[in-house]
Copies of this chain bind each other. A is one copy, B any other.
Amino acid sequence: MSDAQEKTRGRRSRRGEGRSAEPGQNAYLKTPFISRNLPTYDILSEESLEQIEATAERIMAEIGIEFRDDPEVVELFRAAGAQVTDLTAESWNLKFAPGMIRQILSTAPARFTQVARNPANTVEIGGDAMVFAPSYGSPFVMDLDKGRRYGTIADFENFVKLAQMSPNLHHSGGTICEPTDVAVNKRHLDMVYAHMRYSDRAFLGSITAPERAEDSIEMCRILFGADFVDQNCVIMGNFNTTSPMVMDGVTTRGIRIYAAAGQGSIHLPFLLGGAVSPLTTAGAVAQCLAESMVSCAITQLVRPGSPAVLGSFISSMSLRTGSPTFGTPEPALGSLAMGQLARRLQLPLRCAGNFSTSKLPDGQAMQQAMMSMMSAVQCGANFILHSAGFLDGLLSMSYEKFILDADLCGALHAYLKGFEVNEDTLGFEALAEGGPGQHLFATQHTLRHYQSAYWDSAMDDQQPWETWHEQGGVDAATRANSRWKAQLASYQAPDLDPGTDEALREFITKTKTAMPDAWY
């Protein structure tokens, strides 16, 4: 056999192995979560970081945080040394001496594990680990066929299934869309069940009322066993402060419930610059840090060592209309700063995502998404909640954007792998083999790296224009529309023990029956 024949044979056999038949699978990139190989993009100097931290301490010490409707959390902080001022019978201003909250947070883990019911899908949150989860909290859903309408539990289940099928997401998320056809006081049961039944990944529970938080955790006890839940994080709650500098009782009670159960919680100020925070980025970041630190600290007072995730949701504003804007440059810079601050605090960080104000899965949508998402991955965020589906300023969950975003998340797997520099990857021998003017198609180096050199998108059209045109000349959104339908048509639910399934259903039926529907 000649060298040329050898090369051809080698090339053919290598092409067949390893790479999956379908684009977008990229088996060599598949992991339960990303371990970031790229360094973070650090934009602030030590001095600037110290100034922001000092301002956060001043906010906590001199302005304080107002707590409402939860005397227990106030007592916890009072016992820890906070200066409490009664404002009304049900509201208090709490001030924290410089360093006090940072000290309380020293017991929080820098990195922790959230166990999935399929152990292969268990994720780590913190350090160089990075988890992508679907978008969260939209009342509406959208697709190209039916446009925008209120979300239903059927939509919710569809998105859980689509997320489960994506090799580029790691987590099932939480309130992917609001299932508005289910009573407000009961929908959490159906949402948690959908995550448990149609996905075998980790997920988020309800936080909209203390009893709904309890129900979410109770369902986990049925799924995982009560002892296991007490010793492991299997669910998390995503909590919002009421910016500026207020924490309401529903939130703090929810945080206490998750922490007491040893479960995880995310602590997210929603900062719309110019409205509830300074519209200068430095100020928004300082306020974000202060609010999220105080919120995180509750967990450590309830149960030291329970997992808490620092959160950042910095939004800009249209100066023409006052509307919040997403996927703009200033919040992207804020995310990069928050990454640095979170590492100094040794807490995991949630921030940014595939944000957009667009109403369609169009060029604006993906350009804005990238501006925000790149900041998340480059700042070293550990949990990126709005990784797929976000449109319409978070008011709508888009089927097509979900597909495009999930594919983009795959590209980010390749990006975050970085690249190795060693004798093999430097490829000197490959260049020397043919020398000047000779192509490298058949070099051993090319054959060796052919399977895994480049991200292989499931959605991007890379064909010649003529081929693309002959095949209908459709845009990315139209391809995404076909894909989500095909995905749902081929979905297969992961196995779930029938006894467990029955126990979950019984719990839901019993809980639903015990109360009338409420729609607020």
A246 touches B465 (CB 8 A): no
Which of B19, B63, B369 sits near A431, CB closer than 8 Å? B63
Residues 235-281 of A contacting B (Cβ, < 8 Å): 242, 244-246, 273-281
CB contact under 8 A between A333 and B59, given known A328-B411, A362-B363, A446-B274: no
- A80 within 8 Å of B by Cβ? no
Which of B274, B317, B476 sits near A362, CB closer than 8 Å? B476
Which of B47, B64, B396, B401 sits near A436, CB closer than 8 Å? B64
Cβ–Cβ < 8 Å partners of A83 in chain B: none
Cβ–Cβ < 8 Å partners of A334 in chain B: 419
Cβ–Cβ < 8 Å partners of A333 in chain B: 38, 415, 418-419
A454 touches B244 (CB 8 A): no
Residues 440-469 of A contacting B (Cβ, < 8 Å): 440-441, 445-446, 449-451, 453-457, 459-465, 468-469
- A422 within 8 Å of B by Cβ? yes
CA distance A140 to B455 in the complex (A): 27
- A99 within 8 Å of B by Cβ? no
Cβ–Cβ < 8 Å partners of A359 in chain B: 461, 465, 468-469, 473
Cβ–Cβ < 8 Å partners of A158 in chain B: none
- A367 within 8 Å of B by Cβ? yes
CB contact under 8 A between A23 and B320, given known A245-B437, A453-B279: yes
CA distance A454 to B326 in the complex (A): 11
A278 touches B371 (CB 8 A): no
Which of B321, B426, B450, B480 sits near A282, CB closer than 8 Å? B426
CA distance A47 to B330 in the complex (A): 34
- A323 within 8 Å of B by Cβ? yes
A414 touches B329 (CB 8 A): yes
Residues 328-349 of A contacting B (Cβ, < 8 Å): 328-330, 332-334, 337
CA distance A139 to B422 in the complex (A): 39
The stretch of A48-56, A180-188, A201-209 in contact with B is A48-56
A475 touches B325 (CB 8 A): no
CB contact under 8 A between A65 and B436, given known A365-B363, A430-B283, A456-B319: yes
Cβ–Cβ < 8 Å partners of A428 in chain B: 55, 58-59, 283, 286
CB contact under 8 A between A245 and B436, given known A39-B42, A42-B39: yes
Interface size on A, as a range, is: 35 or more
CA distance A455 to B316 in the complex (A): 9
Cβ–Cβ < 8 Å partners of A515 in chain B: none
Central interface residue in A48, A51, A274, by most chain B CB within 10 Å:
A274
Cβ–Cβ < 8 Å partners of A280 in chain B: 419-420, 424-427, 445, 449, 453
In the complex, residue of chain B having the shortest beta-carbon distance to the beta carbon of A327: B460
Cβ–Cβ < 8 Å partners of A367 in chain B: 366-367, 369-370, 404, 408
CB contact under 8 A between A450 and B404, given known A66-B436, A245-B436, A414-B330: no
B445 touches A278 (CB 8 A): yes
- A368 within 8 Å of B by Cβ? yes
B23 touches A274 (CB 8 A): no
CB contact under 8 A between A427 and B282, given known A63-B436, A432-B63: yes
CB contact under 8 A between A440 and B41, given known A330-B453, A456-B319: no
In the complex, residue of chain B having the shortest beta-carbon distance to the beta carbon of A404: B363
Smallest beta-carbon distance A20→chain B, Å: 12
Which of B281, B392, B439 sits near A425, CB closer than 8 Å? B281
Interface string of A457-499 (1 = CB under 8 A from B): 1011111110011000101110010000000000000000000
A244 touches B473 (CB 8 A): no
B422 touches A282 (CB 8 A): yes
Smallest beta-carbon distance A196→chain B, Å: 32
Cβ–Cβ < 8 Å partners of A365 in chain B: 363, 366, 476
Instruction: Report, nearest first, the 5 A-B pairs whose CB atoms are least far apart.
Output: A283-B427, A278-B427, A370-B370, A66-B436, A329-B415
Q: Given A55-B426, A245-B435, list of 7 further CB < 8 A pairs?
A: A55-B428, A280-B426, A321-B462, A325-B462, A328-B454, A363-B401, A370-B371
The contact sample of 22 A-B pairs, CB cut-off 8 A, is A23-B320, A276-B439, A278-B425, A278-B430, A278-B449, A279-B449, A280-B419, A280-B420, A282-B426, A316-B453, A319-B450, A321-B463, A325-B462, A328-B454, A329-B411, A329-B414, A330-B414, A333-B415, A360-B476, A363-B365, A367-B408, A392-B465
Q: Which residues of A contact B (CB under 8 A)?
A: 19, 23, 38-39, 41-44, 47-48, 51-52, 55, 58-59, 62-66, 93, 140, 148, 242, 244-246, 273-284, 286-287, 316-321, 323, 325, 328-330, 332-334, 337, 357-371, 374, 378, 392-393, 395-396, 401, 404, 408, 411-412, 414-415, 418-422, 424-428, 430-432, 434-441, 445-446, 449-451, 453-457, 459-465, 468-469, 473, 475-477, 480
